[in-house]
Chains A and B, each alone.
Chain A
């Protein structure tokens, strides 16, 4: 018997049920309820039948009165179907954090952290059997403690809520769009029963059932749009009727390819062409026909410069485009201006366009005059001076146009904690790699190498993207957003080593490793194939004090930078 191979069973997609307590009887019952009863079972694939999806990817949960089902801001990956009873959705503004009783993050205790000094394995990629068998991470329903709202009547009085009853879906937006939950939802009455479907199941259901797909599409538009618009300051003073008008007349646009697992890398590579070849959402010089609100994805904001285009910034979810022009035109009818910049899609963008007519008739009159964006001055229009608003917008000027192009071409703006190295300060000492290894069981989780632009290198470390592509396609949900701060982490216990996330990631941040046992022998399945797991930077979410790499650099050459706020980046560059 050689010491190199250690045989165990290879993990499968449905090895660990979402809820081990789901029984066939439950599934049978569900199949008789709408919408499952109306689904055409023949459309489902052999490997993922409807009953299988319900058995493995769904669970029944019971809530008491006031118990919180989902919290606004949580990163969750399940959708909910109300089976019986009622639930209330807290509309914006949501409940304060204190009321929601947020759970503690799962960091290691101080003793455990200090104990890493002697408990860290000395060999590479060692996994203990307890780690792999860790079903404790999936809490069973009976054991889970619920968190309750303290004073339900008061909340019902003070906050606007909407009621949901049996047969309604919710949470599908957050599950499918990889975004945070938009609202807090709690149960009313003690007999509330929900079916929680994790998003792998939901995705498959949508794929195979047209009705559900359309239905969810419609809810998505109705619900999300209202809350999303309410979040934007300019729409906050609209009453319900006005808001309804806006919703009705708003248009949707999806540019690029939503379903891009596996294709993203190709798209990203193709993106290294000049901006002119990217699809245009709005063109500089055109008549401003509506305010463009970016819902998800990224768009490039550029201006004509010489014979080309200069990128000023990239807009992400929550940004608006064209508001200033339209507000200017509404006030200065005689000196109307056109779009001052162009908006182009980078990869994939989902936008909502509110037409100018609606803006002028309904929205702008509701806004206080001093809260409107400032008018364009003639010098600005001539291009001789830049106003303050312009300067704040122009991130490209702060960090240098070359660096701006570099970031945009390589899609680095996606990152909320991109690892940036200042090569003129870095002595290549590898203290950062060693610190990362020390914090991750003696395994470094990034490679200190990557694309270089001048003196800036972006290392191959997970950037914890605002729009994480790696989450798409995971068959078991091992890769998910952590509860705190939105970092993306891989649950080693449930990862089956399919390497879809590693292939998806365009930044080569995820690496597949062959795991070993504590004697150093490779763990293999019965056919002697090595068991691999996906590994990546987890932003040291289970340690205290933040990412170890940043702290460990003796020369201040390494920083985890949020690319959505380039001011901090510019300040660091010019320190």
Chain B
């Protein structure tokens, strides 16, 4: 991963340099510059505006405004830089008024969701690849339907073929709910195999009540259960890789609006005070 290492070193040193510059400028001049809070505030707002514009940039991919990869790198490191700026802006103190408390909380939500987001964006593709069963997100319902229809057909046919309803009854009791809709999503997120294992164990336990041909059917059902489980895994992870942005982006807009209100209030009510 030489290229990545070099890139990370480059951006990290840039971030470090910017942070050191900001902190030193603050320490050196904050005492004399009565407007230190204003300056850090404007810088913070400007950088946050750049960060927000990443989403707008994505809407015009045909204009050569640079690679999205570079924009994301900037977004990540500038996001950390806003943390530094934020601490400088509030001088490391927890806010005491309601308005500023909400502003701080909004910022914290955006920051934390962002950090969590990049962690799962880097970690979960590896899990998805290792597990396999790759399928585009929109196709998952179709494949689920295919698997369900196959399983139902197997269960139904086994009644006619072997003149016994054991498998069909097990299907109705345990497997129908399993094949019908996405299951065990939270377990998949934390890699808990318990639900799958318990289902497979139960299927295996059923074997003692089955004859030769039924056992073949059961084996096929096991295969289908694994496929469905793999599909659920894909769904769980791909869905969360999409859903974390449902927090990060809307709250960003809320934060920006609140920040604009904050600017108006500060200018209106400070009229020159620090």
Question: Which A residues fall within an 8 A CB radius of B?
Answer: 113-114, 116-117, 423-431, 434-435, 438-439, 447-449, 452, 454-455, 457, 540, 543-546, 548, 550-557, 571, 574-575
From B125, B132, B238, contact of A424 by CB (8 A)? B125
Of B68, B126, B136, the contact of A554 (CB 8 Å cutoff): B68
A438 and B62 in contact, given A447-B136, A449-B134, A551-B68 (Cβ under 8 angstroms):
yes
Residue B4 interfacial (CB < 8 Å)? yes
B210 located at the interface, meaning its Cβ lies under 8 Å from any Cβ of chain A in the complex: no
| A554 x B71 contact (CB < 8 A) | yes
Are B68 and A553 neighbours in the complex by a CB distance under 8 Å? yes
Question: Is B1 engaged at the interface, CB distance under 8 Å to the other chain?
Answer: yes
What does the 1/0 interface line of B27-69 toward A look like (CB < 8 Å)?
Answer: 0000000000000000000000000000000111111101111
Instruction: Provide a sorted-by-A list of 28 A–B residue pairs whose CB atoms are within 8 angstroms.
Output: A113-B62, A113-B63, A114-B63, A116-B62, A424-B125, A427-B241, A428-B238, A434-B61, A435-B58, A438-B60, A438-B62, A449-B135, A454-B129, A544-B62, A544-B64, A545-B62, A551-B61, A551-B68, A552-B58, A552-B61, A553-B68, A553-B69, A554-B68, A554-B72, A555-B69, A575-B1, A575-B3, A575-B4
A117: nearest chain-B partner, CB-CB: B60
Complex: A457 Cα to B132 Cα, angstroms: 12
Q: Are B134 and A457 in contact (CB under 8 A)?
A: yes
Candidate in A428, A438, A556 with the most chain B CB atoms within 10 angstroms: A428
A151 to B38 Cα, complex, angstroms: 69
Question: Which residues of B lie under 8 Å from residue A552 when comparing CB positions?
Answer: 58, 61, 68
B128 within 8 A of A: yes
A435 and B71 CA atoms in complex are apart in Å by 15
Q: Say whether B69 contacts A424, CB under 8 Å.
A: no
Interface residues of B, Cβ cutoff 8 Å to A: 1-4, 58-64, 66-69, 71-72, 121-122, 124-126, 128-129, 132, 134-137, 238, 241-242
Name B242's closest neighbour in chain A (CB-CB): A429
User: A476 to chain B: closest CB distance in Å?
Assistant: 28
The closest CB in chain A to the CB of B238 belongs to A428
List the A side residues contacting B69 at CB < 8 Å: 553-556
Most chain A C-beta atoms within 10 Å of own C-beta, residue among B62, B71, B129: B62
Q: Are A427 and B63 CB-contacts (below 8 A) given A449-B136, A553-B69, A575-B1? A: no
Q: In the complex the two chains form, is B58's CB within 8 Å of A551's CB?
A: no
Residues of B within 8 A of A540 (CB): 62
Known: A431-B61, A435-B58. 19 other contacts (CB 8 A): A424-B126, A425-B122, A428-B125, A428-B136, A429-B241, A438-B59, A438-B61, A449-B134, A449-B136, A457-B134, A543-B62, A544-B64, A550-B67, A551-B68, A552-B61, A552-B68, A553-B68, A574-B1, A574-B2
- Residue contact A423 to B61, C-beta cutoff 8 Å: no
In Å, the complex CA distance between A117 and B60 comes to: 7
- Please, which residue of chain A has its CB at the minimum distance from the CB of B245? A429
**B125→A425 contact, CB < 8 A:** yes
B2 CB → nearest A CB, Å: 7
A423 touches B62 (CB 8 A): no
* Across-interface contacts of A556 in B (CB, < 8 A): 69
CB neighbours (8 Å) of A114 from chain B are 60, 63
Name the contact of A427 in the complex, choosing from B60, B62, B124 (C-beta under 8 A): B124
In Å, the complex CA distance between A556 and B58 comes to: 15
Tell me the complex Cα distance, A431–B69, Å.
11
Asked whether B136 lies within 8 Å of A448 as measured between CB atoms, the reply is yes
What is the distance, in angstroms, from B8's C-beta to the closest C-beta of chain A? 12
Q: Say yes or no: A455-B129 contact (C-beta < 8 A), given A449-B135, A556-B69.
A: yes
Give the complex CA separation of A452 and B2 in angstroms: 24
Expressed in whole angstroms, the Cα–Cα distance for A380 and B61 within the complex equals 51
Contact between chains at B2 and A428 (CB < 8 Å)? no
CB-CB < 8 A to A550: which residues of B?
Answer: 67
Residues of chain B within 8 A (CB-CB) of A428 are 125, 128, 136-137, 238, 241
Q: Name the A residues within 8 Å of B125 (CB-CB).
A: 423-428, 557
Closest B residue to A571 by CB, please name it: B3
Q: Cβ of A546: which chain B residues have Cβ within 8 Å of it?
A: 64
Chain B residues with Cβ below 8 Å from A438 are 59-62
A439 & B62 in contact (Cβ 8 Å cutoff):
yes
CA distance A526 to B237 in the complex (A): 48
> Within the complex, what minimum Cβ distance (angstroms) separates A549 from chain B?
8
In the assembly, what is the distance between CA of A571 and CA of B3, in Å?
9
CB proximity of B118 to chain A, nearest CB, Å: 10
State in angstroms the CA–CA spacing of A434 and B55 once bound together: 13
A427→B121 contact, CB < 8 A: yes
- Indicate if the CB atoms of A575 and B2 lie closer than 8 Å: yes
CB nearest neighbor in B for A116: B62
Taking a contact as CB atoms under 8 Å apart, the answer to whether A555 and B72 are in contact is yes
Closest to A433 in B: B136
Chain A residues whose CB sits within 8 angstroms of the CB of B66 once the complex forms:
551
Contacts of A427 on B, CB cut-off 8 Å? 121, 124-125, 241
Bound-state CA distance A551–B121 (Å) is 18
Contact of B134 among A423, A424, A548, A574 (CB under 8 A): A423
- A-side contacts of B59, CB under 8 Å: 117, 438
A-chain residues with CB within 8 Å of residue B132 when the two chains form the complex: 452
**Judging by beta carbons under 8 Å apart, are B134 and A430 in contact?**
no
Residues of A within 8 Å of B61, CB to CB, are 431, 434-435, 438-439, 548, 551-552
Q: How far is the CB of A273 from chain B (nearest CB, A)?
A: 24
CA distance A427 to B123 in the complex (A): 9
Given A428-B241, A545-B64, A575-B3: A423 in contact with B137 (beta carbons within 8 A): no
CA distance A550 to B238 in the complex (A): 21
Select from chain B the residue with minimum beta-carbon distance to A440.
B62
Q: How far is the CA of A449 from the CA of B135 in the complex (A)?
A: 7
Q: Which 8 A-B pairs have the closest CB atoms?
A: A545-B64, A575-B3, A435-B61, A423-B129, A554-B72, A556-B69, A439-B62, A554-B68
